């Protein structure tokens, strides 16, 4: 599918399929087109061209039917600040034509699920950022969705709150809820996602399980070299040919290799302007940097 805003191509032609019951990660730098893609899936933006089916239904012809079967957690906080925690859920239930009694019992169950039952009577501004995120997840679940779409569900959360959200998302997966999420936290994608797509400039540049992508694009180990101030380019130039891959981010040079110990030894004996060398296992973050480059976006 393609999405243009006037002269701006936000999504240049992405193609992917999310299987029932899986957690699918949509990863990419700022401005890559993630939110725009999710908005098309949620039927709040129309594709400019291409084909997009959700639950096998065409988004152009069946937006209402699709919206009734999915839950959305938006990138920004979109709660009603004038209402209490509980009221935010009850108001939302009306979109699904849910009866008052059912809405009430569902709201109580979901508040317990996200551990906000003690705050049910508080207005939204009294909640911390992490609590607001959890409330947004509860709200997205009010309609008992088959597909949960989450646009950066844990941005700005502390480690405890992030783990709490991960735990809830895992529980939902066990119950068979399909999940499509974006995140800038590669550890989050590794923890939660069965498969991920890396998107850049509105196109999918790689797809697979996190482990497959690590093997395919980085290898087993990464030697991280802290270059002396301003020396990263020179250091990278000397070391690139010794490794399977080489990425620079700021003053750090990342060398991809199958045999880290040997490479660490060689870096040490070369006498380059280097302040430190360390060895670690390759991660999805290395894949991301390799595929989407080193420069900051927008």
Ligand X SMILES: Nc1ncnc2c1ncn2[C@@H]1O[C@H](COP(=O)(O)OP(=O)(O)OP(=O)(O)O)[C@@H](O)[C@H]1O
Q: Are 256 and 282 in contact (CB under 8 A)?
A: yes
Q: What is the DSSP string of 129-177?
A: HHHHHHHHHHHHTTT--SEEEEESTTTT--HHHHHHHHHHHHHHHHTT-
- Residue 172: phi and psi, rounded to 5, are -65, -35
Which residue in 108, 104, 38 sits closest to 73, CA to CA? Answer: 38
Answer for which of 35, 88, 132, 292 binds Mg ion (CB under 5 A) is 35
Quickly tell me which residue has 């301003």 as its tokens: 230
37 interacts with Mg ion by CB under 5 A: no
Taking the complex as a whole, the smallest distance from the CB of residue 32 to ligand X amounts, in Å, to 4
Taking the complex as a whole, the smallest distance from the CB of residue 189 to ligand X amounts, in Å, to 13
Of 2-21, binders to ligand X (CB under 6 A) are 5, 8, 10
State which residue, 34 or 139, has the beta carbon closest to Mg ion: 34
Taking the complex as a whole, the smallest distance from the CB of residue 32 to Mg ion amounts, in Å, to 8
State which residue, 274 or 284, has the beta carbon closest to ligand X: 284
Of 159-218, binders to ligand X (CB under 6 A) are none
71 interacts with ligand X by CB under 6 A: no
Which residue in 194, 214, 205, 199 sits closest to 24, CA to CA? Answer: 194
State which residue, 26 or 92, has the beta carbon closest to ligand X: 26
Cross-strand pairs, 149: 72, 180
Extract the tokens encoding 277: 């060398």
Taking the complex as a whole, the smallest distance from the CB of residue 151 to ligand X amounts, in Å, to 7
The contact set with ligand X (CB under 6 A) reads 5, 8, 10, 28, 30-36, 75
């Amino acid at each position: 599918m393609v999405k243009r805003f006037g002269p701006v191509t936000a999504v240049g032609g992405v193609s992917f399929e999310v299987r029932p019951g899986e957690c699918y990660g949509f990863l990419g730098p700022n401005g890559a087109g993630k939110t725009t893609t999710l908005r098309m899936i949620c039927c709040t933006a129309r594709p400019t061209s291409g084909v997009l089916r959700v639950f096998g239904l065409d988004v152009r012809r069946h937006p209402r039917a699709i919206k009734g079967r999915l839950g959305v957690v938006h990138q920004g906080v979109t709660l009603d600040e004038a209402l209490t925690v509980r009221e935010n859920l009850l108001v939302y239930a009306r979109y699904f034509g849910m009866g008052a009694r059912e809405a009430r019992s569902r709201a109580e169950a979901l508040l317990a699920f996200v551990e906000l039952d003690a705050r049910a009577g508080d207005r939204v501004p009294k909640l911390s950022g992490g609590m607001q995120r959890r409330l947004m997840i509860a709200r997205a679940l009010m309609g008992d969705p088959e597909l949960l779409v989450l646009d950066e569900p844990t941005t700005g959360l502390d480690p405890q709150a992030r783990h709490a959200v991960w735990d809830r998302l895992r529980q939902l997966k066990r119950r068979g809820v399909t999940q499509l999420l974006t995140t800038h936290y590669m550890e989050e994608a590794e923890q939660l996602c069965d498969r991920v797509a890396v998107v850049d400039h509105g196109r999918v540049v790689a797809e697979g399980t996190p482990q497959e992508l690590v093997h395919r694009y980085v290898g087993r180990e990464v030697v991280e070299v802290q270059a002396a101030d301003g020396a990263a380019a020179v250091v990278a130039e000397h070391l690139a040919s010794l490794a399977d891959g080489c990425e620079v981010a700021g003053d750090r040079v990342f060398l991809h290799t199958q045999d880290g110990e040997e490479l660490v030894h060689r870096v040490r004996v070369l006498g380059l302007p280097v302040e430190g060398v360390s060895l670690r296992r390759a991660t999805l973050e290395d894949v991301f940097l390799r595929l989407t480059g080193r420069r900051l976006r927008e």
